[in-house]
Amino acid sequence: MNAKDLAVLNNEKRKQLNEHNRNYYEDMLVYIRSHLLLSEQQSEELLMELLDHLLEAQKHGKSAEDVFGKDPKAYCDELIGQLPKEKRRNIYAFIGYLMIQLFALITLVTGAVELVAELFTDVDDTVYLGKEFVLFVIDFAVILLVVAIIVLWIRKSTFRDDSNTFNNKVKTFLVVWFVFFIVFGMFILMERLVPEFGYRIEAGGMVRILFGLFVLAMTWLLNKKFRITK
């Protein structure tokens, strides 16, 4: 079974755990999956093995602590140290795939916004390819940084005492909105700071939408053929 099929099966089999064991195991699952540079296939196989082991123990009246101990983080760290890293070519292919998808989505959104704006006012359809390329690289780098920060935050918050769940939810909400406004502000700032340069073309809202849909279709076909996202 590939990683995606294992993840789906894992979701189904976890329902057989009681609430305590499920909470314990899902913390382990989130923690292991948050190590994005590990082999996805090997990680999902390990998680399935741990789940099967816990389900078998549960049938005999044992808890997750009886099976994995009272320090699940240390147990997971020991297992993670034995897992192989994802192949570099797979990482590069996945990052390239995300870049193309992001480019298509940005093209779709800007095209839709421009198409609506054209109904009410005159819109300049001029696009400077040099500026657009620089903005795209900056946007992608910012998004990667945000994703890395979120993953690290999730990793550190796993196995945390949730005795004050309400406060944790409020804190999470505030952090998410703070990050959103910072990122949004950076996008607007970069749009103003980067000068117009490079080859100039005319691309209206409908042209951008059609091109974005075409790129998305191409990435879907490539992913279906080469299973970039497993």
Per-residue confidence of the chain (230 residues) as pLDDT tens digits? 899 899 999 999 999 999 999 999 999 999 999 999 999 999 999 999 999 999 999 999 999 999 999 999 999 999 999 999 999 999 999 999 999 999 999 999 999 999 999 889 988 899 999 999 999 999 999 999 999 998 998 898 898 765 556 677 787 788 888 888 998 899 899 999 999 999 999 998 999 999 999 999 999 998 888 888 86
Would you report the helix, strand and coil content of the chain in percent, each value rounded to 5?
75, 5, 20
Strands annotated E in the chain: 126-128, 200-202
So what's the pLDDT on residue 171?
78
Structure tokens at 31: 């923690």
Supply the DSSP symbol for 160. -
Q: Tell me the pTM.
A: 0.85
- What burial letters (b/e) apply to 115-141, b meaning 16+ CB within 10 Å? beeeeeeeeeeebbeebbebbeebbbe
- What is the C-alpha to C-alpha distance for residues 64 and 23, in angstroms, rounded to an integer? 9
Half-sphere exposure of 119 (CA within 13 A, CB side): 6
So what's the pLDDT on residue 118?
87
- What is the C-alpha to C-alpha distance for residues 223 and 216, in angstroms, rounded to an integer? 10
